[in-house]
Amino acid sequence: MAPSLGGLQLIPFAAGGRKPSPDDDGEDLEDVRLLDAYDEDGSGSEQGMRRIQVRVTGMTCAACSNSVEGALRDVNGVLRASVALLQNRADVVFDPKFVGEEDIKNAIEDAGFDAEIISEPNQTKPRGTLLGQFTIGGMTCAVCVNSVEGILRKLPGVKRAVVALATSLGEVEYDPTVINKDDIVNAIEDAGFEASFVQSSEQDKITLGVIGISSEMDALTLEGILTTIRGVRQFLFDRMSGELEVLFDPEVISSRSLVDGIEGASNANFKLQVKNPYTRMTSKDLEESSNMFRLFTSSLFLSIPVFLIKVVCPHIPLVDSLLLWRCGPFLMGDWLKWALVSLIQFVVGKRFYIGAGRALRNGSANMDVLIALGTSASYFYSVCALLYGAVTGFWSPTYFEASAMLITFVLLGKYLESLAKGKTSDAIKKLVELAPATALLLVKDKGGRFAEEREIDAMLIQPGDLLKVLPGTKVPADGIVTWGSSYVNESMVTGESAPVSKEVNSPVIGGTINLHGALHIRATKVGSNTVLSQIISLVETAQMSKAPIQKFADFVASIFVPTVIAMSLLTLLGWYVCGILGAYPKQWLPENGNYFVFALMFAISVVVIACPCALGLATPTAVMVATGVGANNGVLIKGGDALERAQKVKYVLFDKTGTLTQGKATVTTAKVFTGMDHGEFLTLVASAEASSEHPLGVAIVEYARHFHFFEDSSSTKDAQDHSRETRFSGWLLDVSDFSALPGRGVQCSIKGKLVLVGNRKLLAESGVTIPTDVENFLVNLEESAKTGVLVAYDDILVGVLGVADSLKREAAIVVEGLRKMGVVPVMVTGDNWRTARAVAKEVGIQDVRAEVMPAGKADVIHSFQKDGSTVAMVGDGINDSPALAAADVGMAIGAGTDIAIEAADYVLMRNNLEDVITAIDLSRKTFSRIRWNYVFAMAYNVIAIPIAAGVFFPWLGIRLPPWAAGACMALSSLSVVCSSLLLRRYKKPRLTTILEITVE
């Protein structure tokens, strides 16, 4: 039977639906779904299918709901039917070609219940796939992971499923019109694993901690409040934990309005706190560790007397005489060992039998099968030996202590492993802790004046909220400063150590620390859209992903257990047959033993010492630690496959502007070659470039504005915003037919005449001739690493501007560092050849590709990939998306708050080229660690299995008793996890070390 759900209340909102009575027996709730995922709109679940919901009255227990489900499934044309007892509702997917709504209703009524078709809601929602996250308990090795993934992928409506052993999490992309989250949970549980829903990409569920519920009357009051709030679909309150789960329509009511509505209607008697799903997952990890520790201590407490009876008590005459006292057919010592070991075998060790049954039911075999097989062989042989002795008088030795100590050592290893695995996910825990728990909301009155400051839960912040950030507190959400000035420490998010100045209109990132002055900010991004949430999502996605190298471990794990069992049987037969044939002396046998017992102990040792867990943990634990370490250093890695490719990088292609250079262009020269006035020339070119988004265009407009108004351009906070304001300032000319031409420049019409601002290619295409003196001037600019911008008016070249973009100070040393690491740096740019070569010479890059259009950068990458080389592309993530996607490893540098760059595999939060070296170095060290993990796991099994099988016993006298084999097996997994944890000590490489420079 399912465990009792006493203390849980679920309130359906269907009129006329039966509410569960407090007197209902919890046992009747077996197989009842606690929460329907959605109130579906009746849209087709599959092509040509329909989905409806039926209100069913008259059901009293799970047997009733099972009857309704059975009646519905027997109807020809019904694809799927599920009945929720507590909601008095049936969810039916059917083919309208074979069956109609009335037929479904009649089938329920024929089963003895009343049925009513629930009308479709007026409001329909756009449907797409959802991404759901589920915790999965009971997985022990890669075989379990493969089983769960296989089950999930076979479910109708599931598009993708990934399961991570190290985090015990599953990520499922599914179509909510075909399958809901409860169906997914049920499918996992039907396979024998534990499952619970964590969160989905649709923000329709909130979990609240409720303070103030002290009686049944309070619970009924809460129920009454929720039933009156519009937009609430369903809710579930757990009296034991004080947690309230609410399913609501986010288009009707917001989460903050929901919380305010409950607290307001209760006259502030109830205090609600939003539960973060990540912190709830952390508490589950702690619960698993504590449960494993409880099982281990119980087994140890029961095993110690068994060990003492076997080893110590025979040397204490008084105690030995009591143990040798015959009580019925057996000695007192035998009774005690049998009783104690039975508790260990079937109570403490029950989880191994459950896990083994689950695996065998799913057509696979895992570590639990080996442990259950080995301990059962030892236990049941000992029981048979006792019974045989009682009947025949011939007493063979028993091996109860082998079973007890084996389970104890395995549980010890599992407990230590769970602690170590918990440490691998510390990165996400630390990121979650960055977010503040509360925020100060500034409330205005009708006159627009500040009326009050109100403290709210940070998870209830909405876009547009005005928030106050005090000195020394954390910024609660991403936003824009509306009042005040201060310095903010952003190192915990971007990795940038220096505090950043913030003034009005400056962007701020949630989770960063305000150091000095008070700030008022307007929230722009909240919830899953914030930078911090996206970082957590990226890290989590990376930890869920599988590196290609893990496919090897998955394959080995799939055949490992059957192979080990076959080897164990061969060991048993080999030693037994050799004994019968006299191949070894009888002196090798234990006292009162026989050939079968002698062979059986070797066979059991083989079964329990072989461990597929170490293989399954070798890659995911290392990837988890590496992604966390990367996040702490401002390097976000999007998956294990990206890590694996990055460690093989041979070429790194750099974009020039904004990557090797500062990306802050400034005009250094402006020369007119006609009789046009200098100011008129600048007004003309600024008018043409005012609508441009290109950094060069922004720099030209800013230079012209400074020329006209004698303002210090350095005082400008945001040149691009100023360039937009100056359109209306009266000094720019009216522009028509503006067009930006990628890789060439811009063109427009001013006073009815064509204006061209760009490079040689633009003027050549338009038939404008470049005089020799202008060409010479242009060459001098380009050879000094400046970009020449040509200006033509009415098909006549009127002037040239020289624009410089200074190199990043670390560019040259990073290029040299990459070369020392065996990586070839290449520069690819849309700039002209002379400027490109001048910049490349300054940074030390020998291979240059210039005058390359944005789309052509992908072709350059393909040319390097032809010989099978792994190519990385480093760009700013704005106009380099095709190249970032084409590269084997795309690195978006200086992403800042724009971290959701789909094309990149690595997101480098800081605008610092040193992180390119960090990314490659971290991937190399990670895969070096993974290889060592596989060496540990494979070498352990290759060496340990022959020893356990007794291969060396005839020559060296070495043999492993089953309990020692169990201890070795437990330590193998622990050694792999601890090996991965060494990556937490990773330090960013010092460039002085890479370059072999000695600093005095």
Residues designated catalytic: 655
Alpha-carbon distance of 10 to 20, in angstroms, equals 8
Q: Using CB atoms within 10 A of its CB, is residue 110 exposed (0-12), middle (13-18) or buried (19+)?
A: exposed
Q: Which of 32, 35, 26 is nearest to 5 (CA)?
A: 26
Q: Using CB atoms within 10 A of its CB, is residue 817 exposed (0-12), middle (13-18) or buried (19+)?
A: buried
Looking at the chain, the number of H-run helices and the number of E-run strands are 32, 37
Residue 486's DSSP bridge partners are 502
Rg from Cα positions in the chain: 36
Q: Where are the alpha helices (DSSP H) in 425-530?
A: 426-434, 491-494
What is residue 333's three-state secondary structure? helix
Alpha-carbon distance of 883 to 862, in angstroms, equals 10
What is residue 569's three-state secondary structure? helix
Structure tokens at 577: 């047959």
Alpha-carbon distance of 76 to 532, in angstroms, equals 51
Helix or strand (DSSP H, E) at 736: strand 736-741
DSSP letters for 356-378: HHHHHHTT---HHHHHHHHHHHH
What is residue 99's three-state secondary structure? coil
Q: Can you point out the beta strands (E) in 812-914?
A: 824-828, 847-849, 870-875, 889-893, 906-908
Q: How many CB atoms lie within 10 A of CB 431?
A: 22
Q: Where are the alpha helices (DSSP H) in 11-160?
A: 62-73, 101-110, 142-153
Q: Which of 657, 680, 668, 678 is nearest to 893 (CA)?
A: 657
Q: How many CB atoms lie within 10 A of CB 684?
A: 24
End-to-end Cα, the chain, rounded Å = 74
Q: Which residue has the tokens 């309130």?
A: 11
Angle separating helix axes 426-434 and 400-424, nearest 10 degrees: 40
Q: Which residue has the tokens 């460039």?
A: 991
Q: Can you point out the beta strands (E) in 150-204?
A: 158-164, 169-174, 194-200
Angle separating helix axes 101-110 and 62-73, nearest 10 degrees: 140
Alpha-carbon distance of 565 to 550, in angstroms, equals 23
Alpha-carbon distance of 977 to 972, in angstroms, equals 9
Alpha-carbon distance of 25 to 22, in angstroms, equals 8
Q: CA 758, 763, 766, 769 torsion: positive or negative?
A: positive
∠ at Cα 885 (884, 887), nearest 5°? Answer: 70
Contact 59, 65 (CB under 8 A): yes
DSSP letters for 589-650: SPTT--HHHHHHHHHHHHHHH--SHHHHHHHHHHHHHHHHHHHHTTEEE--HHHHHHHTTEE
Alpha-carbon distance of 608 to 410, in angstroms, equals 9
Contact 357, 192 (CB under 8 A): yes
